[in-house]
Amino acid sequence: MRRLMSAVAALTMLSAQPVLADRQCTSVAEQSAFEVQALRSALMVVATGCHDDERYNAFIRRFQGDLQANERTINAYFQHRYGRAGQTQHDRFVTDLANAISHQGSDIGGDFCPRNGIIFNEVLALTSVSDLPDFAAGKNLVPASVEICTPMPSGAATAHKAAAIASKKK
């Protein structure tokens, strides 16, 4: 019974974050990429804080191809939105995401590892790697303090439009 209560508590904590629908993603693929990135960051924070590197490494090995494809989607998003500053913005996003998730863990305190370690059991129990995006979406792990799917900055939008017009003229 105690394990069931711990599982329910962990799922409640992990599901308590806001849903991404309010975040202005222009496509399901973009939204999914951010959700998978948040899952990866959450697992990294749990692994680091709870000394659970073995299960984190098992997650990375099992979903390596999907995680690499997800990283390419995130890279493309930031390049499209910010042009040359895309890599800097991407790095800032990943850092902000990990810091926000870590801060949430600090707020929980000593109960963090017991409440969140179960997520490894859940993700490693997925029957197919294709289940990862739906699993990540169901966790709603992107903290409200981390901006995702933001409108394109006015300078980047203008530059992007000018580049599109120039390429059409060729």
Which residues constitute the domain of residue 138?
A: 2-169
In this prediction, residues 148-154 reach a mean pLDDT of 58
DSSP state of 137: H
Residue 136's pLDDT is what?
Answer: 92
Of 123, 129, 120, whose CA–CA distance to 63 is shortest?
A: 129
Q: CA triplet 8, 10, 16: central angle to 5 degrees?
A: 100
Residue 24's pLDDT is what?
Answer: 59
Statement: residue 5 has pLDDT above 70: no
In this prediction, residues 145-153 reach a mean pLDDT of 65
> What is the percentage of the chain residues whose pLDDT exceeds 70?
71
User: pTM of the full predicted structure?
Assistant: 0.71
- Give tens-digit pLDDT for 34-84: 999 999 999 999 999 889 999 999 999 999 999 999 999 999 999 988 899
R_g of the chain, CA atoms, integer Å = 18
Point out the least confidently predicted range of 31-45, 83-97, 115-129, 135-149.
135-149
With a CB cutoff of 8 Å and minimum separation 6, the contacts of 103 are none
> What is the percentage of the chain residues whose pLDDT exceeds 90?
39
Q: How far apart are CA 167 and CA 24, in angstroms?
A: 27
How many folded domains does the chain comprise?
1
Residue 134's pLDDT is what?
Answer: 93
Residue 37's pLDDT is what?
Answer: 93
Residue 150 banded pLDDT, cuts 50, 70, 90: low
Residue 17 banded pLDDT, cuts 50, 70, 90: very low
Residues 46, 119 contacting (CB under 8 angstroms) = yes
